[in-house]
Amino acid sequence: METLIAPLALALERRFGYPQKLTETIGHPVIWFGRLIGFCESRLNNESRSADQRRLAGIVALGLLLLSVLIVTIGISTILSWLPFGWLLEMLLATAFLAQKELGRAVRAVSETLRQSLAAGREAVSHVVGRDPQMLDEAGIARAAVETLAESTSDGVVAPWFFLVLFGLPGIALYKAVNTADSMIGHLNARYRDYGWAAAKLDDVLNWLPARLTAIFITLACFFVPGASPSKAWAIARRDARKHESPNAGWPEAAFAGALNFQLGGPRAYDGEVIDLPAFGTGKSSLGASDIMLALLLYRRTLDVLLALSAALAIILMFR
């Protein structure tokens, strides 16, 4: 029955998400990871140290994070394995590391508020992207929302599911810990370039295969989205993914662009500085609220494909 953990976790989290009351009461695993990451960073990332020393400090901090998560999750999994229906409890715990419902809700909010006003759209998109929202017009807000949706389909859904299938609760928790560390300290600025090096590199390694699987799932989902092109999704992903500064993020973004005939990417502003980034796809770049909803439809169909494949895999493993 343990093989059903992954598909059931996907189905349950997609329907209910992580309860807000639970977050208010005990927090969320990502919040706990963040606190440990912040605690280590405040004590180990000393600007007076050399680049090599700061890189070593970052490796030590990442090691402490992963060791802590590994000890806790293996302990929990071991205890649950002794219980008659422990696998169901493990499935419930695994849902905390998936982000299907919250991702869809946050991106939908951008579409809904953008229909009201540009200011409201900027406020909503500020919760899902790191770029400066005040520099974005309507098309920029819509593109930012779609790009975040595409990239997060990989690192917020497919990658956690992938490591859950391979390594159970410890696998999905360890992946999420690395991904959280990368989002907090894996930046190429003076403060984190060396200290966050290990987190950024390990995140790249862990996401290499899931990012490419995500592009395949998006391509398959196109068959269930009116007007979407599976051939262009895969062709643009293969052609443009390598343009991205990340070895992984370009795959889902380019697949979304090709599937929906959008042009994503391009110049972005961070902290008032405009960075010229490559474009993905050659289609429509002047996106609006309705285009975000179309992207959300592709996202939902991608989740359907993932769930179907996960269930099929579980059944095969049960009767092998």
The model's pLDDT over 247-267, given as tens digits with 9 standing for 90+, comes to: 999 999 999 999 999 999 876
Residue 155: per-residue pLDDT: 96
Say what the pLDDT of residue 208 is: 98
| Amino acid type, 68 | S
pLDDT score for 90:
96
| pLDDT confidence of residue 320 | 77
Query: Tens digits of per-residue pLDDT, 10-60?
Result: 999 999 999 999 899 999 999 999 999 999 999 999 988 999 999 999 999
Give this prediction's pTM. 0.95
Query: Residue 184, Cα to own-chain centre: how many angstroms?
Result: 14
Q: Please count the structural domains in the chain.
A: 1
- Cα separation, 127 vs 24, whole angstroms: 18
Rounded Cα distance between 67 and 73, Å, is 10
Q: Average the pLDDT over 152-163 and give the result.
A: 98
Q: What is the pLDDT of residue 188?
A: 86
Report the pLDDT averaged over residues 187-215: 96
Domain hosting residue 56, numbered range: 2-318
pLDDT, residue 276, reads 65
The model's pLDDT over 75-115, given as tens digits with 9 standing for 90+, comes to 999 999 999 999 999 999 999 999 999 999 999 999 999 99
Q: Inform me whether the pLDDT recorded for 271 exceeds 90.
A: no
Is the predicted pLDDT of residue 269 greater than 90, yes or no? Answer: no
Phi, psi angles (nearest 5°) of residue 222: -60, -25
